[in-house]
């Protein structure tokens, strides 16, 4: 029987199998950041265990960093200490760190692919659940807890049971205005938040084949929101072109050799998955969420479903929405375009393209936060910054920012925020804040209109106006 | 890691589904660089009102309920990979969490910290939750060796599954680092013969 992409990568990384137990899985790349690593460093130090392969670790500061005045000392004492600790730990252990202000600094899941650290066929981990992002390259990439960070420090391996396999296929033509974010929000709204638990997911079909690497990263990023530990897309020419020439990508003959190997990775035609789902691209429309988990999503033009269930009702109460209600015309005061889901150059191009020649609504506070210094530089270079500023928007400095509101970028109590991030949990963006997840296009339109609009309808009438 | 064999305790019923790690420990408390003290902020935004006063409606603030077993609704621990969630729960004094479903990463984190996640059926969970709510004094017995959870007074009992390797680790107080470090030779051999 044939093998899946996941099988091929996993099986080639198994060091050993414990009888009746887990396998020892070798990890090629370990990404770390300030929040989930300090306790792991401490643990190793306490036990007198050295870090086995410091050159396979890449560190960045992202979760807890300010998005303004990054050249100034950080005001919050605990944050400052946490970042200082990361620098100290990396220095002591010879780990490459792209700290705040470095030209390569950024959200770990944005900067690592940009630098070519992420490559097809690798195993990658990070103490962050959205490590699934890197699966867009055909890598096995998943989030781990801090004890596991310590395990990888100590042994470059993890003890794991091989997850089951799941494939989500989407074929057909996407409707105008439907972005990769809508595709994944749609999938999660259909499958629910724990359908993927215990599984690794492969995304297949022409919709993903035709997506850019940025779009594939957006999709794989949110795999964890349906419970799957990771998501993967088969590497192809789009992948190879993206990787080629990047800082840590193999060069010359070594690159060609790797490409030849990467071409062997896609799932064999006769491979079997434990679970399969199929969707038709035509059914997908721009999406928004109305509740407090990412599975609670609807097409913008739809109404909140009428479900009688205590946790559903608790969720609607928190959001202050009613069953059967439409979100269209809901006034919105906060918009966030950023996070490892949607803070790459393509996302800002989409937003700028919509915003160009328009003005931000007066009631809206909008935070545009690039995923990395490199994205920030590109925004400036492509003239998008001017577009944003002319429309009354402010571009901030890179970091996780309002995605998890660990820094000062918090949405106030009771306020709605249309956000391109990945989680709409209670209080995720600040105590009492209410998050509506959406694509960068929907977010940009909300910022301009000051309320949620039926973007598909607006685009359709704009294009028919052009034709007439 | 502390060893775990058996436990007899009262339980606290957290009758809420999809409890995510942002609820267990909100991100603003993740700035500490050691593992201790997170218990003070476990379920922070449910335990306290925004103005810092105690929310008496929340079960953890209800003096009727006490104990080192947390019984929670379906899909417990979803969301972020923060192990701080497991630290906060153990630091608060819990040794066992019971639910009908656990998110992967949370489950792994719990096991790596000597916190036993017990997965039971939805029916068993629902009965357990409602019974504890009615009879807060109920004693629950957990036996890891036999893989059982029982509330004798209520005539409730269930078997639970656990990975045999993880079971051995918990009973003996070993963790994965011990195992991996003992296998460094094997790992180095693998590195020198990598086929990819
Ligand atoms: S942007 Fe948000 S989801 Fe992504 S790594 Fe940062 S905190 Fe996590």
The per-residue pLDDT for range A9-66, each reduced to its tens digit, is 999 999 999 988 899 999 999 999 999 999 999 999 999 999 999 999 999 999 999 9
Rounded percentage of chain B residues whose pLDDT exceeds 90: 91
pTM: 0.94
A28: Cβ contacts below 8 Å, ≥ 6 apart: A13, A56, A122, A123, A124
Chain B contact present for A128, CB below 8 A? yes
Q: So what's the ipTM on this one?
A: 0.91
By three-state DSSP, how is residue B115 classified?
coil
Report CA(A429)–ligand 1 centroid distance (Å): 11
Instruction: Show the tokens assigned to A226.
Output: 């349906």
- Reported as a single tens digit per residue, the pLDDT across A269-323 is 999 999 999 999 999 999 999 999 999 999 999 999 999 999 999 999 999 999 9
Question: A406 and chain B: CB distance < 8 Å anywhere?
Answer: yes
In degrees rounded to 5, what are phi and psi of residue B72? -125, 160
pLDDT (0 to 100) of residue A466: 61
Q: What is the pLDDT of residue A340?
A: 98
On the question of pLDDT at A150 being above 80, the answer is: yes
What b/e sequence results for A138-167 when a residue is b if at least 16 CB atoms lie within 10 Å of its CB, and e otherwise? bbbbbbbbbbbbbbbbbbbbbbbeebebbb
Would A5-276 and A294-467 be classified into the same CATH topology?
A: yes
pLDDT band at A467 (very low <50, low <70, confident <90, very high): low
- CATH T-level fold of A5-276: Aconitase; domain 3 (3.30.499)
Q: Of A324, A315, A321, A337, which is closest to residue A418 (Cα–Cα)?
A: A337
Give CA–CA dist A277/A166, Å, rounded: 8
Task: Indicate yes or no: CB of A427 within 8 angstroms of CB of B45.
Answer: yes
Return the domain boundaries, chain A.
5-276, 294-467
The pLDDT assigned to A443 comes to 98
pLDDT in tens, A106-116: 999 999 999 99
* Chain A residues inside the 8 Å CB shell of B187: 15, 24, 26, 52, 155-157
Q: Does B57 touch chain A (CB under 8 A)?
A: no
Looking at residue B90, its pLDDT comes to 97
Rounded to whole angstroms, the Cα distance separating B39 from A375 reads 38
Chain B partners within 8 Å of A428 (Cβ): 22, 27
- The CATH code that applies to domain A294-467 is 3.30.499.10
Question: How much is the pLDDT for A1?
Answer: 86
pLDDT tens-digit series, residues B69-98:
999 999 999 999 899 999 999 999 999 999
- Chain-chain contact of B78 with A155 (C-beta, under 8 angstroms): no
Q: What angle do CA A379, A220, A113 make, to 5 degrees?
A: 45
B55 touches chain A (CB under 8 A): no
Pocket test for ligand 1, best of A65, A339, A344, A437 (most atoms within 8 A of CB): A339
pLDDT tens digits along A172-186: 999 999 999 999 999
Q: How many angstroms separate the CA atoms of A109 and A340, rounded? A: 6
Output the residue whose Cα is nearest ligand 1's atom 5.
A340
């Amino acid at each position: 029987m044939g093998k899946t992409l996941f099988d091929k990568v996993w099986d080639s990384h198994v060091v050993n199998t414990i009888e009746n137990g887990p396998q020892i899985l070798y990890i090629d790349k370990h990404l770390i950041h300030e929040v989930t690593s300090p306790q792991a460093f401490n643990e190793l130090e306490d036990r007198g265990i050295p870090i086995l392969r410091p050159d396979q670790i890449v560190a960045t500061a992202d979760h807890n960093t300010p998005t303004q005045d990054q050249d100034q000392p950080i005001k919050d004492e605990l944050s400052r200490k946490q970042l200082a600790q990361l620098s100290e730990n990396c220095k002591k252990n010879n780990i490459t760190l792209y700290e705040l202000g470095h030209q390569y600094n950024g959200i770990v899941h944005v900067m690592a692919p940009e630098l070519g650290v992420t490559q097809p066929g690798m195993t990658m981990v990070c103490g962050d659940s959205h490590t699934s992002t890197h699966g867009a390259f055909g890598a096995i990439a998943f989030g781990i807890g801090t004890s596991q960070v310590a395990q990888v420090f100590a042994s470059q391996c993890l003890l794991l049971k091989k997850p089951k396999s799941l494939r989500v296929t989407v074929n057909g033509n996407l409707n105008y205005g439907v972005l990769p974010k809508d595709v994944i929000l749609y999938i999660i709204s259909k499958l629910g938040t724990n359908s993927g638990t215990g599984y690794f997911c492969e995304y297949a079909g022409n919709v993903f084949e035709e997506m850019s690497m940025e779009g594939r990263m957006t999709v794989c990023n949110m795999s964890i929101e349906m419970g799957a530990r990771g998501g993967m897309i088969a590497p192809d020419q789009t992948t190879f072109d993206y990787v080629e020439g990047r800082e840590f990508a193999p060069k010359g003959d070594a690159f060609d050799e790797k490409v030849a190997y990467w071409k062997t990775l896609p799932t064999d035609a006769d491979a079997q998955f434990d679970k399969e789902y199929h969707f038709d691209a035509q059914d997908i429309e721009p999406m928004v969420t109305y509740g407090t988990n990412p599975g609670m999503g609807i097409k913008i033009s739809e109404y909140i479903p009428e479900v009688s269930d205590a946790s559903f009702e608790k969720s609607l109460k928190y959001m202050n929405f009613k069953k059967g209600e439409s979100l269209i015309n809901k006034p919105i005061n906060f918009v966030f375009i950023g996070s490892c889901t949607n803070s790459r150059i393509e996302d800002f191009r989409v937003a700028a393209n919509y915003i160009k020649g328009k003005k931000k609504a007066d009631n809206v506070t909008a935070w545009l936060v690039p995923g990395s210094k490199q994205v920030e530089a590109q925004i400036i270079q492509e003239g998008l910054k001017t577009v944003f500023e002319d429309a009354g928007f402010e571009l901030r400095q890179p970091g996780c920012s309002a995605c998890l509101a660990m820094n000062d970028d918090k949405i106030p109590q009771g306020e709605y925020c249309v956000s391109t991030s990945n989680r709409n949990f209670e209080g995720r963006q600040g105590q009492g804040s209410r998050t509506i997840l959406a694509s960068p296009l929907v977010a940009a339109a909300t910022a301009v209109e000051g309320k949620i609009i039926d973007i598909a309808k607006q685009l359709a009438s704009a294009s028919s106006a052009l034709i007439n | 890691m502390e060893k775990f064999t058996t436990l007899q305790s009262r339980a606290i019923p957290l009758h809420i589904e999809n409890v995510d790690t942002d609820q267990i420990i909100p991100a603003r408390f993740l700035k500490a660089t050691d593992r201790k003290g997170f218990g003070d902020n476990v379920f922070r935004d449910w335990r306290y009102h925004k103005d810092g006063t105690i929310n008496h409606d929340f079960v953890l603030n209800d003096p009727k309920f006490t104990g080192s077993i947390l019984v929670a609704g379906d899909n417990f621990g979803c969301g972020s990979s923060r192990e701080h969630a497991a630290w906060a729960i153990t630091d608060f004094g819990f040794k066992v969490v019971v639910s009908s479903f656990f998110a992967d990463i949370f489950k792994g984190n719990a096991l790596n910290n000597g916190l036993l996640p017990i997965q039971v059926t939805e029916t068993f969970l629902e009965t357990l939750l409602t019974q504890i709510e009615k009879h807060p004094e109920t004693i629950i017995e957990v036996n890891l060796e036999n893989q059982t959870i029982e509330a004798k007074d209520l005539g409730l009992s269930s078997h639970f599954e656990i990975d045999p390797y993880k079971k051995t680790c918990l009973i003996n107080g070993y963790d994965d680092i011990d195992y991996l470090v003992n296998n460094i030779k094997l790992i180095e051999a693998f590195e020198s013969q990598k086929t990819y």
